[in-house]
Structure 1
Amino acid sequence: MRPISYGRQYIDEEDVREVIDVLRSDYLTQGPKVEEFERKLGEYTGARYVVSFSNGTAALHAAYFAGGLGPEDEIITTPNTFAATSNAALYIGAKPVFVDIEPETGNIDVSKVEEKIT
């Protein structure tokens, strides 16, 4: 079986210097760099509100919660994804429901989603 690459990052020397500056500062979390990032991302995307998270799992957890999902709700996803998709559902008491992928694309098979809705 040929492994599927998780992703490739592009990190240049400026990125490394910026991280070192934060690590050596008094603001490892919630400092001015977080505010700067959120402001610049809002300007770039035109978004009125921007909230950054420490990782994708935390962002999904917040999105599910903000969407009003909770116990008795189901989240349809594919098992061929990062564990955070299902874990964030479990954190709020929701149930992950799995739909297989299309072998050609690796994406969820949308033709099978409706039959999984309860």
Structure 2
Amino acid sequence: MNVPFLNLKTINAAHRDELIQAATRVIDSGWYIRSQEVQAFEQEFAAYCGTRYCIGVGNGLSALTLTLRTWKELGKPQ
């Protein structure tokens, strides 16, 4: 029995045009880090989460590392 886990093709199809437009804006700008797109994402995601700030990072490992280092600096229990 084959149970499909996640069909990204189907999920992405509903957002295809928007994803292409966003990718095109990034490619055309030449800015992949600290761009207006990243700043807009950070602001919108912070609002979505109900927080004042959001920091966009390159991958999940960077996010976890930053989180753990922050907790260590703040003296949170490990």
TM-score of the superposed pair, with normalisation by structure 1:
0.48
5 Å-filtered alignment, 1:97-116, equals: none
Greater relative contact order (Cα < 8 A, sep 6+): 1
Displacement of 1:47: 0.6
The number of equivalent residue pairs is 68
Larger radius of gyration: 1
The sequence identity of aligned pairs, in percent, is 21
Higher helix proportion:
2
Structure 1 alignment gaps of length 5 or more: 75-118
Residue identity opposite 2:61 in structure 1: T
TM-score of the superposed pair, with normalisation by structure 2:
0.68
5 Å-filtered alignment, 1:55-66, equals: 55-66=59-70
5 Å-filtered alignment, 1:44-83, equals: 44-68=48-72
Match of 1:19 among 16, 23, 42: 23
Match of 2:40 among 36, 47, 60: 36
Higher strand proportion:
1
Q: What secondary structure, in the 3-state scheme, does the structure 2 residue paired with 1:51 have?
A: coil
Displacement of 1:8: 4.6
1:66-103 deviations in Å (ceiling 9; x for gaps): 1218xxxx8xxxxxxxxxxxxxxxxxxxxxxxxxxxxx
